[in-house]
Structure 1
Amino acid sequence: MAEKNALLEAFRQTDYRIAGNGKRTIRVLKEAFRNIEDDTESDIYGKGKIIEEFQNKIATYLGKETAVFFPSGTMAQQIALRIWCDEKGSKKVAYHPLCHLEIHEQEGLKELHHIEAILLGDKERLIELEDIYELDETISCLLLELPQREIGGQLPPYETLEAISAYCRKQGIKLHLDGARLFEILPYYQKSAAEICQLFDSVYVSFYKGIDGIAGAILAGPKAFTEQSKVWKRRHGGDLISLYPYIVSSDYYFEQRIGKMGQYYEGAKALAQLFNQCHGVSTRPVEPVSNMFHVHFSLPKEKVEAVLIEVYQATNIGLTSYLVETDENHCYYEVSIGDLYSNFSREALVELFQLLDEKMKAQA
């Protein structure tokens, strides 16, 4: 067991990290509340100035009529699909084979809502317009995840999104956006959030991904849709007496980081370039389209762990605390760029990756 945790322990011993915005300690919450007055009133069961102002603010940012704050995206998205299924009168939806609802939610959509999922396209690539044309099932809703996390955070051309949106509207299919990382893709598309969201009937965004708040999500769309979502939120047990710790942190870090998404994106591209210059290392995609991507190693997991531990001990810099084995000769991990990346000079990063390159060659 200790051997399995060696990489994690070595990572914890480093003083500097390449990815993210810093450790998720209580400091994150304390900083968000630093300028909040003691007599600021709490929200109560989804009502009150603090929640309503934030919902209106994000609805405007997304270009949607209304929005509802949820404690989790898992809850928000299952509810969104349930509403569209009820409206259409069909309990079938379609999404990518590696969609979060399919692989990370213990079949919640099926068990809680009795909705059948049609897996669209191939798991190794993005959903394409032809996949939707070839659907031989009548579906109520199509869910698109932007970016597609499990295949490295890939994105379709914007013209493809427009074509899919137009087709769905013509066919009477509701189009829902899993926009957990919506903010992070704006620099790549060179579009506003509202421009992207106008292609979709409903939208979910997360406040603990690139924004890095405590937790929480927004579900946005037409007023009739969001009013129904409030009912389902209560049914799911998500209508907590107070959500203000999540709302305050979401609002604070939204303001702190929404303007840095371009910086994170440029950092991800520069970092991926350094990885791709190392022996036996490649990124997916080769050039990132957001602040996140996957790093693939063409060596057995145990050999890569040994390499990374040596690099950490020599540089005091941590790259990742884990590796995922894909087969006996390959493994990978996911990286997301945030505030920490800007602490490193180009020279320091070049030295780090020269060492990584040397160690990978020695293990080959």
Structure 2
Amino acid sequence: MTNKNHLSEAFKQTKHQIVGHGRRDIQTLKEALKDIDGQQESDMYGTGKIIDDFQTKMARFLGKEAAVFFPSGTMAQQIALRIWCDRKGLKKVAYHPLCHLEIHEEDGLKELHHIEPILLADKNRVIQLEDVVGMKEEVSCLLLELPQREIGGQLPDYKTLVSISTYCREKGIKLHLDGARLFEVLPYYQKTAAEICELFDSVYVSFYKGIGGLAGAILAGDESFTNESKVWKRRHGGDLISLYPYIISADYYFEQRLHKMNQYYQESIELASLFNQCHSVSTIPSEPVSNMFHVHFDGSKEKVEAILIDIYQKTGIGLTGNLREVNKKESYYEVSIGDRYADVPKEELKKVFDVLDKSMRAIS
């Protein structure tokens, strides 16, 4: 058995886990369906009351004319960029070097749509106005991810968003929002979703991350854009005969958790502070700007895994089941705060960080 499996198994056996909403099991769907009339008619091939009502609800929430439910964000975002490229007659888009489309989708944008990405900014920081102004090539669309997951969930400030939006509109560049975690950043910006989305021509949001639904995404924009996206959705095979398990769970957990986003945000700040008090441990960002951040250890993956397993066995509290190697002397993992953090007794949590601090000092 590998060390990774040892860590994962030890994490699963703890009494408390501090990240996420809970296990992704069948109960997630059963909970969402418990009050639904079993005789209610399902959606069929992208039409019907269930899907229509949810799309209308999300369009209003995001401040857009219309919205379309997709089975995946990967499908939704590739389609959004394809539409903007076709309309301008230029198959070039710009985004961050660690954008999801660039590193997690097996070159789907390039292979399926023959769209060339222009990578902006250093990979360790967010895109700024000067990066956009300084582009050497013309593009049809610029994608911004809020927050930028792969660098700890960092965010540009609101003034920067406004300046980038203004510049893109002046230059005829469409601005697309990868808002997979849009709900989670609203407390930091102190803005409504509609106020943020007003800056963008098209918007994607996810329903299985901070919201904790089964799967699925919304793509929103003006009616001509969303109508065109429905055609591409059919072409991609996204019109399953019924999507209601995803839609119902998305709607249910949206109502259950949207109002908790500020709680998760404040708890992430609290947790990051505890990590930053430990020897040879730091977080990126040092103070989180959403419910997520990265924890970095000045220690090899092998040594830190052994420390974490020891902590789990001594305290019954799990921090993560997945540690990643940066190099031979450094490792890290990603934190995403949800419902479970509030259930961890604070005195017990303090013991975790006492042990972590002592253990990190011992290997330094």
- 1:209 lines up with 2:226 in the alignment: no
In the other structure, the counterpart of 1:193 is 193
Matched letter for residue 335 of structure 1: V
Matched letter for residue 137 of structure 1: E
Report the alpha carbon displacement of residue 141 of structure 1 after superposing the two structures with TM: 0.1
- CA offset digits 1:227-271 (Å, max 9, x no partner): 000000000011101000000000000000000000000000000
Is residue 203–residue 219 contact of structure 2 (8 Å, CA) maintained in 1? yes
Unaligned runs of 5+ in 1: none
Distance 2:17 2:152 in 1: 20
TM-score, length basis structure 2: 0.99
In the other structure, the counterpart of 1:113 is 113
The within-5 A match list for 1:328-343 is: 328-343=328-343
In the other structure, the counterpart of 1:347 is 347
In the other structure, the counterpart of 1:97 is 97
The SS at the match of 2:333 is: strand
Distance 1:94 1:2 in 2: 39
In the other structure, the counterpart of 1:258 is 258
Is residue 261–residue 291 contact of structure 2 (8 Å, CA) maintained in 1? yes
In the other structure, the counterpart of 1:270 is 270
Identity %: 70
Distance 2:203 2:286 in 1: 28
Distance 2:76 2:170 in 1: 26
In the other structure, the counterpart of 1:41 is 41
- 1:360 lines up with 2:360 in the alignment: yes
In the other structure, the counterpart of 2:24 is 24
Moved more, 336-345 or 302-311: 336-345
Distance 1:3 1:361 in 2: 22
Matched positions, count: 364
Report the alpha carbon displacement of residue 272 of structure 1 after superposing the two structures with TM: 0.1
In the other structure, the counterpart of 1:181 is 181
Report the alpha carbon displacement of residue 319 of structure 1 after superposing the two structures with TM: 0.5
Report the alpha carbon displacement of residue 133 of structure 1 after superposing the two structures with TM: 0.8
Report the alpha carbon displacement of residue 215 of structure 1 after superposing the two structures with TM: 0.2
Distance 1:4 1:269 in 2: 27
Distance 1:321 1:346 in 2: 21
Moved more, 221-230 or 342-351: 342-351
Distance 2:3 2:215 in 1: 32
Distance 2:4 2:282 in 1: 24
Matched letter for residue 28 of structure 1: T
Distance 1:268 1:123 in 2: 23
The within-5 A match list for 1:132-151 is: 132-151=132-151
- 1:226 lines up with 2:226 in the alignment: yes
In the other structure, the counterpart of 2:296 is 296
Report the alpha carbon displacement of residue 296 of structure 1 after superposing the two structures with TM: 0.3
- 1:50 lines up with 2:50 in the alignment: yes
Matched letter for residue 30 of structure 2: K
Report the alpha carbon displacement of residue 209 of structure 1 after superposing the two structures with TM: 0.4
Distance 1:56 1:295 in 2: 39
The SS at the match of 2:68 is: strand
Report the alpha carbon displacement of residue 322 of structure 1 after superposing the two structures with TM: 1.1
Report the alpha carbon displacement of residue 8 of structure 1 after superposing the two structures with TM: 1.2
Is residue 96–residue 123 contact of structure 2 (8 Å, CA) maintained in 1? yes
Report the alpha carbon displacement of residue 344 of structure 1 after superposing the two structures with TM: 2.1
Distance 1:88 1:347 in 2: 58
Report the alpha carbon displacement of residue 345 of structure 1 after superposing the two structures with TM: 3.2
Matched letter for residue 338 of structure 1: G
In the other structure, the counterpart of 1:238 is 238
Distance 1:2 1:117 in 2: 37
TM-score, length basis structure 1: 0.99
Distance 1:295 1:210 in 2: 19
Distance 2:112 2:76 in 1: 13
- 1:327 lines up with 2:327 in the alignment: yes
Report the alpha carbon displacement of residue 4 of structure 1 after superposing the two structures with TM: 4.0
Distance 2:3 2:341 in 1: 29
Distance 1:221 1:312 in 2: 46
In the other structure, the counterpart of 2:305 is 305
Distance 1:164 1:348 in 2: 45
Matched letter for residue 22 of structure 2: G
The SS at the match of 2:289 is: coil
- CA offset digits 1:86-142 (Å, max 9, x no partner): 011100000000000000000000000000000011101111111111111110000
Distance 1:82 1:342 in 2: 42
Report the alpha carbon displacement of residue 348 of structure 1 after superposing the two structures with TM: 2.2
The SS at the match of 1:5 is: helix
Report the alpha carbon displacement of residue 327 of structure 1 after superposing the two structures with TM: 0.5
- 1:59 lines up with 2:69 in the alignment: no
Report the alpha carbon displacement of residue 16 of structure 1 after superposing the two structures with TM: 1.0
Report the alpha carbon displacement of residue 341 of structure 1 after superposing the two structures with TM: 0.7
In the other structure, the counterpart of 2:284 is 284
Is residue 4–residue 323 contact of structure 2 (8 Å, CA) maintained in 1? no
Matched letter for residue 207 of structure 2: F
Is residue 317–residue 349 contact of structure 2 (8 Å, CA) maintained in 1? no
The SS at the match of 2:131 is: helix
Distance 2:282 2:31 in 1: 37
